[in-house]
Amino acid sequence: MSNYHIKGLEEYFNVYRKSVRYPEKFWEEIAEEHFVWRKKWNNVLSWDFEKPAIKWFEGAQLNITENCIDRHLLTNANKTAIIFEPNDPKEAAEHISYGELSKRVNAFANVLKAQGIQKGDRVCIYLPMIPELAISVLACARIGAVHSVVFAGFSSSALATRINDSSCKMVITSDGSYRGAKTIDLKGIVDEALNDCTTIESVLVAKRIHSDISMQEGRDQWLQPLLDAASTVCEAETMDAEDPLFILYTSGSTGMPKGMVHTTAGYMVGTAFTFKNVFQYRNDDVYWCTADIGWITGHSYIVYGPLANGATTLMFEGVPSYPDFGRFWEVVEKHKVNQFYTAPTAIRALAKENLDFVEKYDLSSLKVLGSVGEPINEEAWHWYNDNVGKKKSPIVDTWWQTETGGIMISPIPFATPTKPTYATLPLPGIQPALMDENGNEIKGNQVDGRLCIKFPWPSMARTIWGNHQRYKETYFSAFENKYFTGDGALRDEVGYYRITGRVDDVIIVSGHNLGTAPIEDAVNEHPAVAESAIVGFPHDIKGNALYGYVILKETGEGRKHENLRKEINQIITEHIGPIAKLDKIQFTVGLPKTRSGKIMRRILRKIAGKDTSNLGDTSTLLNPEVVEEIMKGAL
Ligand code: PRX
């Protein structure tokens, strides 16, 4: 029996039991058999959820790029590591072999070194989905620099916040990006961000759209000439198991985004193991995850997990709707994709279009379909299953988070029977618990509660950059001795989990986590706004959309309101990015508040969702009359 590659349900249960009974032994065997180490660990695991302090494979030394690249060179140098499919289908796809990837990563690593980047320095990567993105990530890992990839849809001010929070020394960007029929001036956004940053010493610029941009003397350099002059040999830096590999920001319910810190060995072992099992990747398969590398899904399941398994991973620059809604399926046919991993919001958007867009293409290569980022509703699940998978490719509804680093709850295809809307069973090594509001674990089946994890797993984030206290408060303080996910879940009669959604003030819009507080802060910046409250409401494509209740300093005329709505969304776009724009903005005279001054969001959520038959107890409100008023003005 191999612990690393599970092929049947009985095997899954056996491996799972072992992983719970002897977790250290379980992970140690996997680490031992499937990776290359420069030095073995002294201790598999030490942990304390009180502090919290978690260490995996302490004492071990390695470099993750040797595991993702070098070791495949002996046998698989000519195998395609990365397929790059450009935004424009008329532009040729690029196939980058492991041999070529090695050279390009090494050359990039040498460029970073020549620019003064050293082990431990933070490098901000703000790039579109072009090969340089994956290569720069790996180049940082090669020399032990900590990458902080910022999704290239974020605004200049969001970019500046992230650069400053982790004092990055360098930004890697491009002249611009393609997004469907549009181009975006990425370099302009970086320039604007850098007006508010003091730690950046250099900016490397990849050429993508060949636009006319300005380069700041002494700071900005074109990337390609530097790469052309660099050696393609670069010795990998020796890293300790717990050295940080990267920082990735995720929204919290309050305040600043949280820079989740992932470390080297545990993250590698966790993402590689979950990739292998959840996608049942076989040697000659072509695997495609449609996420952007700017999110954790791209880090773990476009770059590290697949490459650690010597897989062929496809990177797609474009969008599902360009040049038409058949684009995803065209790419599947063209590259004979075997595993396809996407988000429910994309599935819902495509399901709205004519079925011809799917039926036109030969999708017979598909073996496994994945879903991630938010609950997949039953209708979308069936559409995906019937029309894309033709009822023969199991759907893996994978639940996990930026913080968990890797997939936590998911079917293992061809082993776990799937059930629409259920992420089903925890993967080996993952010990979920459902908790009630009094902090007690709810045992048994057919129950629901708050989802926690009872025992550490290798790929979990170790801290929040520069704010360990916040890490402790957010994840380890709600329930004693447990990691709290922020999600609610139910467990059905056979023990399958269904994630029901966030139980905090994080709203998931089109699979993107958005905290309400930063959006409210942005709205309140408008000079006419006195106060605001943002809630989510159900949306048939995005899953959730944002509804803003806004109190104006002076109430104006209806005509003026339309302008205000535009201006408010403009401010949000500038502060966070277009993904955080409000779908509806209701101007109101007040917000329902408790006597202690807390906004009662539960009521606002119900009104936004047009679910006002039972608003619950409003007697504790300071201003119950305002509820009537808000209901009258609801959009
Ligand atoms: O609420 C859960 C939801 O997405 C949150 C994590 O978001 P993020 O850190 O951006 O990572 C997304 C990609 C891993 C979770 O707390 N979520 C993620 N996957 C699922 C999900 N909700 C339901 N079902 C899922 N499969």
Would the CB of 398 count as within 6 Å of ligand 1? yes
The Å distance, Cα 259 to ligand 1 centre, comes to: 17
Would the CB of 292 count as within 6 Å of ligand 1? no
Tell me the two tokens of residue 519. Answer: 């959006």
Spatial distance between the Cα atoms of 531 and 285, rounded to a whole number of angstroms: 53
User: How distant, in Å, are the alpha carbons of 491, 566, 621 from that of 250?
Assistant: 27, 26, 33
Would the CB of 126 count as within 6 Å of ligand 1? no
For atom 22 of ligand 1, which residue has the closest CA? 374
CATH code for the structural domain at 506-633: 3.30.300.30
Looking from the CA of residue 501, the nearest atom of ligand 1 is: 1
Task: Supply φ then ψ for residue 626, to 5 degrees.
Answer: -70, -25
User: How distant, in Å, are the alpha carbons of 31, 254, 372, 374, 509 from that of 512?
Assistant: 32, 16, 11, 9, 5
Would the CB of 251 count as within 6 Å of ligand 1? no
Nearest to 84 by CA among 371, 325, 293, 248: 293
Percent of the chain scored above 90 by pLDDT?
90
Would the CB of 299 count as within 6 Å of ligand 1? no
Pocket test for ligand 1, best of 267, 299, 448, 487 (most atoms within 8 A of CB): 487
Percent of the chain scored above 70 by pLDDT?
98
- 134 confidence band (pLDDT: 50, 70, 90): very high
Question: How does pLDDT run across 19-38, given as a tens digit for each residue?
Answer: 999 999 999 999 999 999 99
Q: What is the mean pLDDT of residues 236-263?
A: 93
| pLDDT greater than 90 at residue 155 | yes
The Å distance, Cα 401 to ligand 1 centre, comes to: 5
Spatial distance between the Cα atoms of 146 and 197, rounded to a whole number of angstroms: 18
What kind and span of H or E run contains 346? Answer: helix 344-351
- 557 confidence band (pLDDT: 50, 70, 90): low
Q: What is the mean pLDDT of residues 580-609?
A: 90
Write down the pTM of the prediction: 0.93
Please tell me whether residue 222 adopts helix, strand or coil conformation.
Answer: strand
Do 457 and 56 contact (CB within 8 A), yes or no? no
Strand partners, 448: 490
For atom 26 of ligand 1, which residue has the closest CA? 399
Would the CB of 250 count as within 6 Å of ligand 1? yes
Tell me the two tokens of residue 203. Answer: 């900016």
β-bridge pairing 312-316 and 286-289 = parallel
Q: What is the pLDDT of residue 515?
A: 87
Q: What is the pLDDT of residue 458?
A: 98
CATH fold, domain 65-237, is: Rossmann fold (3.40.50)
For atom 11 of ligand 1, which residue has the closest CA? 401
Tell me the two tokens of residue 389. Answer: 């998978």
Looking from the CA of residue 502, the nearest atom of ligand 1 is: 1
Q: What is the pLDDT of residue 196?
A: 96
Pocket test for ligand 1, best of 396, 499, 507 (most atoms within 8 A of CB): 499
Question: How does pLDDT run across 209-225, given as a tens digit for each residue?
Answer: 999 999 999 999 999 99
Non-local CB neighbours of 5 within 8 Å, separated by 6+ positions: 276, 277
| pLDDT greater than 70 at residue 18 | yes
Q: Work out the number of other CB atoms within 10 angstroms of the CB of residue 565.
A: 17
The better pLDDT of the pair 323, 597 is held by: 323
Nearest to 138 by CA among 96, 163, 101, 88: 101
Q: What is the pLDDT of residue 556?
A: 61
Q: What is the pLDDT of residue 620?
A: 75
Q: What is the pLDDT of residue 139?
A: 99
Looking from the CA of residue 250, the nearest atom of ligand 1 is: 9
Give, in degrees to the nearest 5, the angle at Cα 390 between 387 and 392.
145
User: How distant, in Å, are the alpha carbons of 84, 86, 87, 89, 558 from that of 92?
Assistant: 9, 7, 10, 7, 51
Would the CB of 499 count as within 6 Å of ligand 1? yes
Question: How does pLDDT run across 327-342, given as a tens digit for each residue?
Answer: 999 999 999 999 999 9
For atom 21 of ligand 1, which residue has the closest CA? 374
Question: How does pLDDT run across 303-358, given as a tens digit for each residue?
Answer: 999 999 999 999 999 999 999 999 999 999 999 999 999 999 999 999 999 999 99
Nearest to 409 by CA among 427, 422, 421, 396: 427
Non-local CB neighbours of 612 within 8 Å, separated by 6+ positions: 606, 631, 634
Would the CB of 166 count as within 6 Å of ligand 1? no
Spatial distance between the Cα atoms of 368 and 303, rounded to a whole number of angstroms: 19
| pLDDT greater than 90 at residue 528 | yes
The Å distance, Cα 435 to ligand 1 centre, comes to: 19
Question: How does pLDDT run across 494-522, given as a tens digit for each residue?
Answer: 999 999 988 988 999 998 999 888 899 89
Pocket test for ligand 1, best of 149, 271, 372 (most atoms within 8 A of CB): 372
Q: What is the mean pLDDT of the chain?
A: 95
Q: What is the pLDDT of residue 360?
A: 97
Spatial distance between the Cα atoms of 248 and 267, rounded to a whole number of angstroms: 13
Spatial distance between the Cα atoms of 341 and 372, rounded to a whole number of angstroms: 8
Spatial distance between the Cα atoms of 112 and 105, rounded to a whole number of angstroms: 10
Question: How does pLDDT run across 385-401, given as a tens digit for each residue?
Answer: 999 999 999 999 999 99
Do 176 and 185 contact (CB within 8 A), yes or no? yes
Q: What is the mean pLDDT of residues 597-612?
A: 89
Question: How does pLDDT run across 224-243, given as a tens digit for each residue?
Answer: 999 999 999 999 999 999 99
The Å distance, Cα 249 to ligand 1 centre, comes to: 14
Would the CB of 370 count as within 6 Å of ligand 1? no
Strand partners, 172: 125, 204
Please tell me whether residue 488 adopts helix, strand or coil conformation.
Answer: strand
Query: What is the chain's Cα-based Rg?
Result: 24
- 3 confidence band (pLDDT: 50, 70, 90): confident
Q: What is the pLDDT of residue 555?
A: 66
Q: What is the pLDDT of residue 559?
A: 55
Do 1 and 15 contact (CB within 8 A), yes or no? yes
If 0-12 CB within 10 Å is exposed, 13-18 middle and 19+ buried, where does residue 218 land? exposed
Spatial distance between the Cα atoms of 405 and 304, rounded to a whole number of angstroms: 11
Task: Supply φ then ψ for residue 174, to 5 degrees.
Answer: -135, 170
Question: How does pLDDT run across 264-283, given as a tens digit for each residue?
Answer: 999 999 999 999 999 999 99
Spatial distance between the Cα atoms of 351 and 184, rounded to a whole number of angstroms: 28
Spatial distance between the Cα atoms of 299 and 64, rounded to a whole number of angstroms: 13
Do 2 and 239 contact (CB within 8 A), yes or no? no
Spatial distance between the Cα atoms of 349 and 283, rounded to a whole number of angstroms: 32
Q: Work out the number of other CB atoms within 10 angstroms of the CB of residue 492.
A: 15
Task: Supply φ then ψ for residue 368, to 5 degrees.
Answer: -135, 135
Return the domain boundaries, the chain.
65-237, 506-633
β-bridge pairing 258-263 and 463-464 = antiparallel
Q: What is the pLDDT of residue 504?
A: 86
